[in-house]
Structure 1
Amino acid sequence: MGNDGLLVVRCQLGEREAFRELVGVWYGPLWRYVRGMVGSPHLADDLSQEVWVAVMRGLPRLRQPGRFAPWLFTIARRTVADHLRRTYKAPEASMDEASTVVAGDELGLVLTTMQIEAGLAALPPLEREVLILFHLEDLPLATCADVLGVPAGTVKSRLHRARRMLRNHLAEKGYEA
């Protein structure tokens, strides 16, 4: 059992400091994932808080403390999906609006964070999610598969498709990928 697993067990035993430590370790990666999925930092704050409340409630029932990361991102994924279902009738329309965020003046051949975020926002949710989990959160392929609830081969094919789609989108905007 790794460090996360030990923190989870300590939380399950009622140590409040262990929960603070767990949040300290995972708040950043969780927030970046949620932010990447919803686009808004303020909304990411709210949804991240919802996730941590769900984690606090569900932590006593977590049977495999060493698998905290996939469990956490699965809760985050469901929270984001629930929010999107409540908020948007047509998610594709919001993706088109988000893709217009790219700034007009370019800084040479270097892509800015805003340009990458706009490129990600233009991708369909499944492809955007797999890129965020694998590349931005540095989760291993097997963990991505656990979070997404699909086989590792499906994660590989989604990654391939998502990279191609992002490259094509950035090329359409005039950025050489």
Structure 2
Amino acid sequence: MTDELLVIRCQLGEREAFAELVRDWHPVVERYVGRMLGRSDDDVVQEIWLAVFRGLPGLRQPDRFAPWFYVVARRAVMNQLREQYRRPESEPVGDPLEADEADGVVDRETLARALAALPAREREVLMLFYLEDLPVGVCAQICDVPVGTVKSRLNRARKLLHLELVRKGYQA
């Protein structure tokens, strides 16, 4: 069943349609939150689903669910990031990446940590474009910026990610 049809059924008050929408999109939202915050956060995920539940009746273009969903998720993540930046930073407890790694291969943990080290804007466009496989135009809608800005953020993000991986010992 398509997202558009599920959204319409949700708007008509079908509880099972919303449950199906959650089943389909929950892994996506957990992955997005985890990558953007550098850790999983059930409170933020729950906040996103609450906002989706409240906002679905007002969604005028059900065929535009995916970009709208990411905008809702982005808003919740950015609120959490703002809250994090207000708190004082804790001391890091050593570098856990000092383990042996195969030359020329970036493992998931190293890549996740390198992504987490990027500024939020650059990390976001990398995730949306490469990991969520969204077109540049949709990324621009989600981030509420022009397409050219997304392209320049992607370019900067790739460079920053490369530098971060080299800093962590990855040799390209």
TM-score, normalised with respect to structure 2? 0.91
SS of residue in 1 equivalent to 2:86: coil
Q: Deviations over 1:101-150 (max 9, x none)?
A: 53432133221111001110111111011111111111121111110001
Alignment pair present for 1:85 and 2:71: no
Q: Which moved more, 1:106-115 or 1:116-125?
A: 106-115
Deviation of 1:46 after TM superposition, in Å, equals: 2.0
- What residue in structure 1 maps to residue 73 of structure 2? 76
Match among 58, 64, 86 for residue 61 of structure 1: 58
- What residue in structure 2 maps to residue 121 of structure 1? 116
C-alpha distance 47-74 of structure 1, shift in aligned 2 (>3 A): same
Q: How many corresponding residue pairs?
A: 172
1:72 is matched by which residue type in structure 2?
F
Q: Structure 1 unaligned segments of length 5 or more: list them.
A: none
TM-score, normalised with respect to structure 1? 0.88
Equivalent-residue separation in structure 2 for 1:167 and 1:121 (angstroms): 13
Alignment pair present for 1:51 and 2:48: yes
Equivalent-residue separation in structure 2 for 1:9 and 1:55 (angstroms): 13
Match among 92, 111, 130 for residue 125 of structure 2: 130
Which structure: greater helix fraction? 1
Give the fraction of aligned pairs with identical amino acids, expressed as a percent.
53
Following TM superposition, the consecutive aligned residue runs of length 4 or more in structure 1 with deviations greater than 6 angstroms are: none
CA RMSD in angstroms comes to: 2.3
SS of residue in 1 equivalent to 2:99: coil
Equivalent-residue separation in structure 1 for 2:125 and 2:94 (angstroms): 18
